[in-house]
Structure 1
Amino acid sequence: MSSATVTDRTAARARAEASLRALVGRDDAVLREDQWTAIEALAVDRRRALVVQRTGWGKSAVYFVATALLRAEGAGPTVIVSPLLALMRNQIAAADRAGIHAVTINSTNPEDWTRIEADIAAGKVDVLLVSPERLNNPGFRDEVLPRLAATTGLLVVDEAHCISDWGHDFRPDYRRIRSMLSELRPGIPVLATTATANARVTRDVAEQLAPPDVAAGSLGDVLVLRGSLDRESLRLGVVRLPTADQRLAWLADHLGQLPGSGIVYCLTVAATQEVAAFLRDRGHVVAAYSGQTETTEREALEGDLAAGRVKALIATSALGMGFDATLGFVINLGAPSSPVSYYQQVGRAGRGTDDAVVVLLPGIEDRDIWAYFASLAFPREQLVRDTLAALADAGRPVSTAALETYVDLNRNRLETMLKVLDVDGAVRRVSGGWEATGQPWAYDAERYARVAEAREREQRAMLDYLTHEGCRMAYLRGQLDDEAPERCGRCDNCGGLPVDAAISESAASDARAALERPGVVVAPRRMWPTALANLGIELKGRINDGADEGRAIARLTDLGHGQQLRELFRETSPDGPVPMPLIQAMVAVLQEWRPSVDVIVYVDSATRPALVRDLADGLSRFLKVPIVGRWSITDPSVQPGRGAANSAQRVAAVGRRYALEGEVPEGARVLLVDDMVVSGWTLTLAARALRSSGAAQVLPLVLAAQS
């Protein structure tokens, strides 16, 4: 603890408020007492602190002002770990206004890394913002991070709930921060901040902040500054409409009446594109935004939203933590899977304004989407052991792509699992991939089960929010263990937000037409997976003998026909003929697509043979072309879906499971029929076999695309 005198502290506060005025550009700006408490702990007493305060409270002001004080005393640069590029861009602009030189090292600016690292070494940088992913990049971790740990004047962990398994947005890369904390010099202050942490997450993060010499489970000298998480500007409401077309029509009718600009959140990338296209057709100035949007376009869209040049961005949660602008509304088309993540999203509204509208439009399909994301939980123990064994047997670094040939996990789940194993010390990311460390590792099944149970409780709590008859703000704050009055006076249940569920007939008609318009492109696979030779398969490089572009009625996640298709493909749904509404949709797809084909070949199915055969027979009658063969199951010991988790495993499984039966006329144009496309490899290998048999062209046609 610093022994600074009262005079020293008074002078420090005066300097702090001068820095604040430069930061916000107002001569009358003053620090609130709780802001000064945090700054004093960091810049005067050199402590570690956790600040849990609502969005818009001014957490960034704390670390920028503390940086100014520390740098004036000769401290090294501040390192801020931030989860999103949008946050970094906003913070760099804010720092520049205060005369603080801030830079970032992230995946979008590798050409600047050498110069930035030289500027850091020369003492020219006041603030370095890095993504958590950079902390485990081999070059950054081994070359840059040790120098930073030795020279850092202040470490800031923004969105600190990501550190905790119990946080709504846990990220394995954030766990690397624990290593950085242990490597800091004694007396270096640390600040962790978040706007969404319940009591359990708060305690977990605070314990992780404690210095290494503190007993496990103790907070030591860590300051925990937790304030009210109320957002007084938000007026919360729920509009419950039974069908997707009605919810889309409500958006079209009411979007223009909402204050200012804002965000319409969707649960899937496909929905953002579908909703944005419909709203544009209805005359609204909107754009789709997701993690798949190119970086430069994302920056431009964020600028358009902040400047009011668009009415709304139709976005996934990729536009989330850290985006800072004055927004008049947030609409959720579909409910997130927990009240805490919902509160995180709606917190984007109401900054810099006294009144913001927040409306949730839940759908019955939400739970299917939650179930899909829940399926991406930490893998079962045998898959982890397979991964460790593959790395140990290799005796050299193995890339993630090459590991896919040994482990039945998709790229994202495999990468996430490896990051957890890295932090646990069982593997290490190095140049060229991953290597086993040889350290013993235990599968913590009990912890993974507890986390899964917590997620299930969160989902039930989200469903309860939809039907809650009391104060909505009090309910959400209760989920964050934040005491709240019984009535906020601002939500629909408190009478503060009159919710109009009416929709016009024209909007409803247009929405129905848009959602009933079937047809999505099934894009062909272009490249063979990496390292198939590990599985004895001599295929590599570009695919020159695969399928052409095909069609599906819809994706399972789509708002329109997606619901019918989800019902059709539920495990509990019986096998049988294609339902009439989907027959009509398929006819509409064919009338719009107009494929020129000579024959039909269909893909055998072990789970829905009647469905696929009925589909092929109906297409044969409608197009007046014969069925000449099938991509037949010749090895039923290879179970349906085997290897579907990643491309290399799927290619191997499909190659063992299927063979072509029938004769294809030389030069024929083949319509390849299946019930659903998941990875695309079944269609690719079937097309390759057909082309080898003489087909000139292979056009896939399926009922559904998984995504």
Structure 2
Amino acid sequence: MSQDRAAVRERAEAVLRRLAGEHATLREDQWRAIEALVVDRRRVLCVQRTGWGKSAVYFVATALLRERPDAAGPTVIVSPLLALMRNQVESAARAGIRARTINSANLDEWDEITAEIHAGAVDVLLISPERLNNPDFRDGVLPKLAATTGLLVVDEAHCVSDWGHDFRPDYRRLRTFLAGLPDHTPVLATTATANARVTTDVAEQLSTGDGSDALVLRGTLDRESLRLAVLDLPSPAHRLGWLADHLDRLPGSGIIYTLTVAAAGETAEFLRSRGWSVASYTGQAEDADRRAAEQDLLDNKIKALVATSALGMGFDKPDLGFVVHLGAPPSPIAYYQQVGRAGRAVEHAEVLLLPGVEDAAIWRYFASLAFPPEEQVRAVLAALHTDRPLSTQALEPLVDLRRARLELMLKVLDVDGAVRRVRGGWLATGEPWVYDEARLRRVAQARTAEQQAMREYAATPGCRMRYLRECLDDAGATDCGRCDNCAGPLFTPEVSDAALSTAQTFLGRPGVQVPPKKLWPTGLEAVGVPLKGRIPPAEQALPGRAVGRLSDLGWGGRLRALVGPDAADGPVPDDVAAAVVDVLKAWAHGDDPWPRRPVGVVAVGSRTHPALVGSLAERIAAVGRLPLLGQVVPTGPTGAGGPRGNSAQRVRTLHDAFAVPADLADALAGLDGPVLLVDDLVDSGWTMAMVARLLRRTGAPDVLPLALAVAG
């Protein structure tokens, strides 16, 4: 057998040279993984740093398995991102491995690819985790694929564990795939970011059930090319100004990460205004635009890509020279993964964290999207006990959850066996299901601990790389000798007066658009609200304005202090009132002005901030020399469709929830122009839409919404 293993290793080295160049040799743990997969047919979990060569393991193993006389079907790689799939198809081709991918972007090729698989012409099939629960794929393709798979690879395997920083319920569907594999089918799971708890969880899920454990190969997570540093700057304007001053000192091209979509857009716009060639990259951008931005960075056509975490796992640019974070991610593990994109094929790469006081508020917002309370889950299960499937849209009027959170919950319930995705939507299975409150509470506590660890990383006087490695339970972590605490800071926090002044002016510009609602949510009739289809133009609001978004780098913090969940009520402050006046001036005389000047002001009656909204309406009326016509009065409790509810629930709650007093109705009847409708916060947008509809049905010719802030 030792001869056999020696021959296998010699062949593995030859395949590696085809893949990575004539001087490439296998690392010892790469060989141990390949040996376990090809010779012993085991299940292996590889926890190794970014750039270590995890993909080489599964491509070499694939080549060796496929050339055997008793070769089974193709290697199936479950991979999280299309960008990663594109990179891996190209890598496989270099090693003479025929790779294809099935994903949402190539539906027209599915039949052709399936035929190639059956003909034995495909060595590697890459699929997304979401594909595992597509009804057609799950029922028509997956069982046969699982029965013939020669090797299953789970890339970014930390996503399997809800203890991990990037848990994805679709990954849990791998249990079904694993259960359908023939005996002794090798399985490889890979990740660069897993602490001991996540590693144990993933290894347990890989276990075969016959008592044999997965082989765990865990290497050092030190990245010798990375020089870590933290710069504590007092405001978003200082951080943007610092970037404008120092971007030329950062080597090569790189990534600037932001915590929100709004911050990515603002940062890219500001840097472009200062002469820098940058592009923005967020999950809200079109796929073609994201791909073009990726390619520009790969080709070094731009200095930086300003990105949210949407530029996630799988983006591979070996010569990436720097990663800067404007705002701290909520965990050291997520941070380590993102900074690990730098310095894969260069001697030195700069990694800078510029934390902000607003980071904690953003963390809290994302934490609010976690798995819902039991009563909401039970309501969904009850709604799905029907004789026909319900789509997510049809469920929304029945449960008070926003769509993203509802879809996440349904995927978890699907994996748990409580619901099943079918053509047309979802059905309850009737299987008993237990709400695991204790585990959810422990996961929430782990998230809180991770946030505190991120604060401590920014403040630690010790080695930063050692701190990150210890957060990932990397045994034997020692001081790196390279970070700002070990070797002294390379960058200082000084910002030039010119850059700071320009950034302050840029971020101080008030004004964002508030688009009007034009369509009613689906399914309102099911909850007794007789509204559907298009909102009649005679009942719509006109496009509106707000001072800023709660997530803005400039106005965000100021506005959160006024309209956030814990904000005290009081008169509108002078600086904010002045910003409202600036918004009104720009609205009247800018590129996209209102169609007619307003002839009166109406306030939305507020239960949470009556003094704020009332004083704002009064000051607008005084400055604009407009009559204050009154306020629309709330008529009942509005808590059930709170600001975090979905659109259908919000409309259900707001329907008939406001009234127009008689004196306001009389004033509206005689108007010959639009009214300004004033409120504190636009969240879902449905309060403005419903109140505008009420005003227009009462006699207002047009309604111009004006708010202090827009959520998001």
For 1:39, the equivalent position in structure 2 comes to: 34
Deviation at 1:484, TM superposition (A): 4.1
For 1:362, the equivalent position in structure 2 comes to: 355
Farther off after superposition, 201-210 or 591-600:
591-600
2:299 pairs with one of 307, 311, 322: 307
Deviation at 1:86, TM superposition (A): 1.5
Alignment of 1:181-260 (within 5 A): 181-214=178-211, 220-260=212-252
Deviation at 1:321, TM superposition (A): 1.0
Amino acid at match of 1:51: C
For 2:591, the equivalent position in structure 1 comes to: none
For 1:621, the equivalent position in structure 2 comes to: 622
SS in 1 for 2:165: coil
Deviation at 1:658, TM superposition (A): 1.4
Deviation at 1:424, TM superposition (A): 0.6
Amino acid at match of 2:186: P
1:70 pairs with one of 65, 72, 76: 65
2:316 pairs with one of 321, 324, 329: 324
Cα distance in 2 for partners of 1:155, 1:571 equals 47
For 2:78, the equivalent position in structure 1 comes to: 81
Deviation at 1:332, TM superposition (A): 0.3
Contact 2:516–2:540 (CA<8 Å) still a contact in 1?
Answer: yes
Write out per-residue CA displacement over residues 350-380 of structure 1, whole angstroms, 9 at most, x where no aligned residue.
1111110000000000000000011111111
For 2:48, the equivalent position in structure 1 comes to: 53
Amino acid at match of 2:357: I
> Is 2:375 aligned against 1:386?
no
For 1:94, the equivalent position in structure 2 comes to: 91
Alignment of 1:243-282 (within 5 A): 243-282=235-274
SS in 1 for 2:484: coil
1:334 pairs with one of 327, 331, 334: 327
Amino acid at match of 2:303: K
Write out per-residue CA displacement over residues 197-247 of structure 1, whole angstroms, 9 at most, x where no aligned residue.
111111111111011333xxxxx2411100001111100000001111001
SS in 2 for 1:524: coil
Alignment of 1:247-646 (within 5 A): 247-325=239-317, 326-392=319-385, 394-495=386-487, 497-544=489-536, 545-594=539-588, 595=594, 596-635=597-636, 637-639=637-639, 642=642, 644-646=644-646
SS in 2 for 1:672: strand
Cα distance in 2 for partners of 1:364, 1:400 equals 37
Amino acid at match of 2:67: A
SS in 1 for 2:24: coil
Write out per-residue CA displacement over residues 329-352 of structure 1, whole angstroms, 9 at most, x where no aligned residue.
000000001111110110111111
Farther off after superposition, 669-678 or 540-549:
540-549
Contact 1:666–1:693 (CA<8 Å) still a contact in 2?
Answer: no
For 1:151, the equivalent position in structure 2 comes to: 148
- Percent of pairs identical after alignment? 61
Deviation at 1:650, TM superposition (A): 0.2
Cα distance in 2 for partners of 1:402, 1:43 equals 48
How many pairs are equivalent? Answer: 695
For 2:707, the equivalent position in structure 1 comes to: 702
RMSD: 1.3
TM-score under structure 2 normalisation? Answer: 0.96
Farther off after superposition, 639-648 or 539-548:
639-648
Cα distance in 2 for partners of 1:400, 1:640 equals 20
1:28 pairs with one of 14, 23, 26: 23
Stretches of structure 1 that go unaligned for 5 or more consecutive residues are 215-219
CA 1:566–1:460 in structure 2 vs 1: closer, same or farther (change >3 Å)?
A: same
Cα distance in 2 for partners of 1:124, 1:697 equals 64
CA 1:670–1:98 in structure 2 vs 1: closer, same or farther (change >3 Å)?
A: same
Cα distance in 1 for partners of 2:649, 2:640 equals 13
Deviation at 1:133, TM superposition (A): 0.8
Contact 1:643–1:649 (CA<8 Å) still a contact in 2?
Answer: no
1:687 pairs with one of 683, 686, 692: 692
Amino acid at match of 1:555: R
SS in 2 for 1:204: helix
Amino acid at match of 1:650: R
CA 1:138–1:192 in structure 2 vs 1: closer, same or farther (change >3 Å)?
A: same
CA 1:49–1:10 in structure 2 vs 1: closer, same or farther (change >3 Å)?
A: same
Amino acid at match of 1:646: N
TM-score under structure 1 normalisation? Answer: 0.96
Deviation at 1:442, TM superposition (A): 0.7
Deviation at 1:666, TM superposition (A): 5.1
Contact 2:515–2:543 (CA<8 Å) still a contact in 1?
Answer: yes
Deviation at 1:580, TM superposition (A): 1.2
Deviation at 1:638, TM superposition (A): 3.1
Cα distance in 2 for partners of 1:131, 1:452 equals 27
SS in 1 for 2:522: coil
Contact 1:629–1:660 (CA<8 Å) still a contact in 2?
Answer: no
SS in 1 for 2:639: coil
Amino acid at match of 2:179: S
Contact 2:271–2:278 (CA<8 Å) still a contact in 1?
Answer: yes
Amino acid at match of 1:645: G
Cα distance in 1 for partners of 2:428, 2:408 equals 16
Cα distance in 2 for partners of 1:88, 1:543 equals 42
SS in 2 for 1:50: strand
Contact 2:563–2:680 (CA<8 Å) still a contact in 1?
Answer: no
Write out per-residue CA displacement over residues 651-702 of structure 1, whole angstroms, 9 at most, x where no aligned residue.
0101142123322135531211111000000111112122222333221110
> Is 2:109 aligned against 1:115?
no
Contact 1:334–1:360 (CA<8 Å) still a contact in 2?
Answer: yes
